[in-house]
Amino acid sequence: MHKRRIKRKFRKLVFLIFFVIIVVFLISKYPNIFSKNKFLLNNNLEKNELKNREKLIENNEVKDSIFKKYYNKARSLVSKMTIEEKIGQLFLVRYNKDDVEYLSNFYPSGYILFAKDFQNNTKESMLEEINNDQKLNKYPLILGVDEEGGYVTRVSRFSAYRTQKFLSPREYYLNSGYPLLEKTENEKANLLKSLGINLNLAPVADVSTNSNDFIYSRSFGEDSIKTSEFVANMVRYANNNKINSCLKHFPGYGNNVDTHNGIAIDNRSYEDIANNDYKPFIAGIKENVPCILVSHNIVKSIDEDYPASLSKNVHDELRKKLNFTGIIMTDDLAMDAVKEYVDGGTSVTLAINSGNDMIITSDFVTMKNEALTSFHDGKIKEATINEAATRVIAWKYYSGLFNNGEVNINENK
């Protein structure tokens, strides 16, 4: 019995030695023999991570999202899209009618139009132009303007669209209160929709009571409580008129300088910002605002290192503390506040990884190529791209853009 046990152990030892010799021989003879398996292992791990993350998103955020009815459709469509198409859907591009046909090859998510684009046009010619833009693109376009009223108007400043430009919301409110403001917002929404516009980048949700502040003339000009009531009403007016609105400029502009011309540093305490500036955004979120634009201010109490638009900390405030489930977009990444602060070739990578769903840009092709390069270099994960692209496509379904422009806004409230 004892001899048989020794023989079995001896055979196992001989087999183990023989196996080790074979493995050493194979590695010395074919040094790359396991590289393919390693690649397959890493690839499978990445695919599993992608599936797990998307399942987590589906089980948590999606069930509470304002776009929740459209996520199944969005997921199905995104699963069929190429990586080039998915990345293209993350960009809202500065409009130039002569570029639309060429840029359609890069699958932009949409365009933001400025005053020059409406000048020398009529309502009829503008609608025809925008309808043609939609036909040129594989996926329906978000088409936005900043028609705030008062200081910022892109459309109504021209007599072809309105006899007098829209005044600021504050002026209408001071004149006759909310009934007049609602009436003019109804008219504004109908005007924009008649031109094929489906997004108004308004209202301004910044709290400012000091007439010397840069943002004062564009704000409601009241404290956080009155500004919150104003924002809630403005989002409600837009939803009732079935047009997308967008709150700006999270996390609140305060008394900072114009970021079009350089860096703005916000030194206020976190408590000050959370207890005042957050309130109007919270009010808008409760009314189902579909979109929030993030500023380029460097808010030191939240993130000392990056502008808000490129800060994961700032985006976590929106997602995790304010529970916003809609579209987060940057202000234009071509602004000096970003160009001066971030090394060339990294702003888009930072913007996507920090949590933006859409990037406003004046340099679409260059920035899209940066995103593609970062994806292929492993600096941006496909799960991150899929998450943003799915939310954008769900927004487009929610906005009725796959239904010949029949907008579904407010349908799921």
The pLDDT tens digits of the residues spanning 1-25 come to: 555 666 666 676 667 677 767 766 6
The percentage of residues in the chain with a pLDDT greater than 70, rounded to a whole number, is 79
pLDDT of residue 333: 86
- Give per-residue pLDDT as tens, 297-318: 999 999 999 999 999 999 999 9
Residue 30 belongs to some domain of the structure: no
Compute the Cα dihedral for 380, 386, 391, 393 and give only its sign. Answer: positive
Helix (H) or strand (E) holding 145: strand 142-145
Query: CA 137 to CA 139: how far, in whole Å?
Result: 5
Tell me, yes or no, whether 56 lies in a domain: no
**Does 391 have pLDDT greater than 50?**
yes
What is the structure's pLDDT at 264? 83
Q: How many helices (H) and strands (E) does the chain have?
A: 18, 11
Angle between helices 347-354 and 364-376 (to 10 degrees): 70
Residue 19 forms part of a structural domain: no
Domain that holds residue 299: 70-398
Query: How many domains are there within the chain?
Result: 1
Tokens encoding 88: 């293209």
Quickly tell me which residue has 């376009």 as its tokens: 141
> Per the domain annotation, does 48 fall within a domain?
no
The CATH number assigned to the domain holding 237 equals: 3.20.20.300
Instruction: Provide mean pLDDT across the span 79-83.
Output: 98
**72: which 2 tokens?**
């199944």
What pLDDT sits at residue 137?
97
Q: pTM for this one?
A: 0.84
Lowest mean pLDDT among 65-74, 80-89, 208-217, 354-363: 208-217
Under a CB-based contact definition with an 8 Å cutoff, are residues 320 and 355 in contact? no
The pLDDT value given to residue 409: 45
Answer whether residue 43 is part of any domain.
no
* pLDDT confidence tier of residue 405, bands split at 50, 70 and 90: very low
Q: Give, in order, the Cα–Cα distances in Å from 167 to each of 24, 347, 402.
A: 81, 35, 33
Any domain includes 341: yes
Q: Is the pLDDT of residue 213 over 50?
A: yes
pLDDT above 50: residue 41 = no
* Residue 353 falls inside a structural domain: yes
Q: Is residue 20 part of a domain?
A: no
pLDDT-derived band at 407 (thresholds 50, 70, 90) equals very low
Mean pLDDT of the chain: 88
